[in-house]
Structure 1
């Protein structure tokens, strides 16, 4: 069976989008991937690469009057989210032969064939995946939602199309990068889908949807050279909030997340190796391309990040009252400096 994927990104996510594509090539030989290029530079760069099993879509052919009307009032991230429902809907309408379409965020990376996801999806119309927040981050569900937009599957039937039409209209009406009365970007609209639409499947597979906000609660192991999550094969990981720098170093995650050394070794290391190889390759083939990399962090910034990640945060989680004492110590040092 051929799986039909779509994603969207601008020049700042180009490296991550290429990593997603390479991971799919590695785990699933039979697929098609449509990429909506959110700027001309992305379209030109990807066109020159002639990617296997990829169809590029330019903004000129994709944008309709409704999208163009809201675009001026939204920043780059907000407009990207606004387009999220419109892309799979556009593909199902322009390619009626497609039985289903899967939307993927550009910062996903596949470690195994997603076949178990589609087997669970079976004959349903819509597939959504919960955030499954770790207990220490459960508070985020109110403002980030029960479900994550990272991977969504829509069948080309009445239920799937109705869902996409409704979601698109909500995002046209309101899609901004702040929480407002039960809304945040494109994501909180997913919360009532199981009640609003028929044929919704909520995926239970722990190997699909692993992310910084939930990985700390699971046991990661390696069996037959494959990473497992509580004994279930890891299908994909969502590399949210990963920063790349001009000196080919990376800040893998926000300090908000509890990412252990084991997680960094089993999951992050292969991805960072892939990203680094892609950046070097693009620099050689397209030397004029300069997006997607932040300025090299100073030694002080790197030391501060590592100190917080490896010392202060573990102590904060393990020692009751540590954070209060640490904040008091910082105040004393500031007064005496």
Structure 2
């Protein structure tokens, strides 16, 4: 039996349900603990009576320290702050042997049991970002991604978890400051700070928009997706994809973020995922819950102009491959916020589409 936990509010409700359904499809034996981050989300999730799930309310979860922190942090920052506390809460409240935190916007394509098995006798697992060189922000946002983290209910696991809870309660903000960023940059030195830490080796753990450029699709079947790493020339099965920064807009368009996404990536991952989300929203429309914090575009004409220009801006491919080549040869991976912003402007990539057109294309 595998034990997972996650947290989200109504703005991530359809994504969280899509993640749950993908987990249910591929994982043979699991239980998922969901922290509903507001009352409306709790009400809907309780009413759905999801199999293999326990729904936790904020009222039951929050302690005095978290409540006192809450007002000083944004919703996103408070979510990050609560992540280690949620893992600790689940382990202690339900007396489970281990707990794996998973982001609400990941989606499973095969059984994640292989990742827990890979840990062996270790007590903590970390998943690397596997950054494509041109997108490497390790020095700013961290080497590892919080997206999928397992802690065992033993002295090694709890020692690291308690340290992380304390650190996030003291400081957890969406900015880089004194070597910290959110809940994530704290993980950088864990292989040296703590005992019994395992770094996941399976590339299938965390295919994401910041690393997918390194791969090519070999097979996309009903049973799963097989990718190949271009540099290492090794095949691997996708365990989960992290749909980071997908935004729904008020003008009936969808924004897939600013990363360079090959056409096969959009067809293999994004189209089926968006279709699944829309299917869930249609199914549960009766609840009258807003499923997204829809992005409002202030100047539609300028936005459309930028989107049109980037599609004929062929230099983005030249700059991407040139910069990626030179950065891959660079031994010291260190980049400033200014450097990352400059690359972003130089590549000038936008993945904005009319939702209906994107799905039919």
Q: Pick the TM interval, shorter chain.
A: 0.7 to 0.9
Residue number among 201, 226, 247 corresponding to 1:243 in the alignment: 247
| Residue 314 in structure 1 maps to residue 334 in structure 2 | no
Alpha-carbon distance change, 267 to 157 in structure 1, aligned in 2, over 3 angstroms: same
How far apart, in 2, do the equivalents of 1:182 and 1:151 lie?
22
Residue number among 212, 232, 236 corresponding to 2:236 in the alignment: 232
Alpha-carbon distance change, 296 to 302 in structure 1, aligned in 2, over 3 angstroms: farther
Segments of 5+ residues of structure 1 without an aligned counterpart are 328-337
How far apart, in 1, do the equivalents of 2:123 and 2:170 lie?
25
Equivalent residue, structure 2, for 1:168: 165
**For 1:161, what is the secondary structure of its paired residue?**
helix
Alpha-carbon distance change, 224 to 245 in structure 1, aligned in 2, over 3 angstroms: same
Equivalent residue, structure 2, for 1:333: none
1:1-337 matched pairs, under 5 angstroms:
2-96=1-95, 98-138=96-136, 140-222=137-219, 224-225=221-222, 226-230=224-228, 231-246=235-250, 249-252=253-256, 254-255=257-258, 257-283=259-285, 285-287=286-288, 289-294=289-294, 298=300, 301-302=303-304, 304-305=306-307, 307-308=309-310, 311-312=313-314, 313-317=316-320
**For 2:81, what is the secondary structure of its paired residue?**
helix
How big is each residue's C-alpha offset from its partner over 1:12-60, in whole Å with a ceiling of 9 and x where there is no partner?
A: 1111111111111111131100000111111112122221211100010
Contact 2:2/2:113 (8 A) holds in 1: no
Shift of residue 311 of structure 1? 3.4
How far apart, in 2, do the equivalents of 1:68 and 1:92 lie?
21
Alpha-carbon distance change, 112 to 248 in structure 1, aligned in 2, over 3 angstroms: farther
Moved more, 45-54 or 204-213: 45-54
Shift of residue 219 of structure 1? 2.1
**For 1:85, what is the secondary structure of its paired residue?**
helix
How far apart, in 1, do the equivalents of 2:187 and 2:312 lie?
35
**For 1:42, what is the secondary structure of its paired residue?**
helix
Contact 2:205/2:238 (8 A) holds in 1: yes
How far apart, in 2, do the equivalents of 1:111 and 1:300 lie?
38
Shift of residue 119 of structure 1? 2.0
Segments of 5+ residues of structure 2 without an aligned counterpart are 229-234, 324-341, 347-361
Alpha-carbon distance change, 315 to 4 in structure 1, aligned in 2, over 3 angstroms: same
**For 1:219, what is the secondary structure of its paired residue?**
strand
- Count of residue pairs brought into register by the alignment: 317
TM-score, structure 1 normalization = 0.88
**For 2:43, what is the secondary structure of its paired residue?**
helix
TM-score, structure 2 normalization = 0.82
**For 2:115, what is the secondary structure of its paired residue?**
helix
Contact 2:134/2:320 (8 A) holds in 1: no
Contact 1:208/1:235 (8 A) holds in 2: yes
How far apart, in 2, do the equivalents of 1:109 and 1:119 lie?
19
Contact 1:10/1:37 (8 A) holds in 2: yes
How far apart, in 1, do the equivalents of 2:25 and 2:312 lie?
33
**For 1:292, what is the secondary structure of its paired residue?**
coil
Shift of residue 218 of structure 1? 1.6
Contact 2:281/2:291 (8 A) holds in 1: no
Contact 1:5/1:34 (8 A) holds in 2: yes
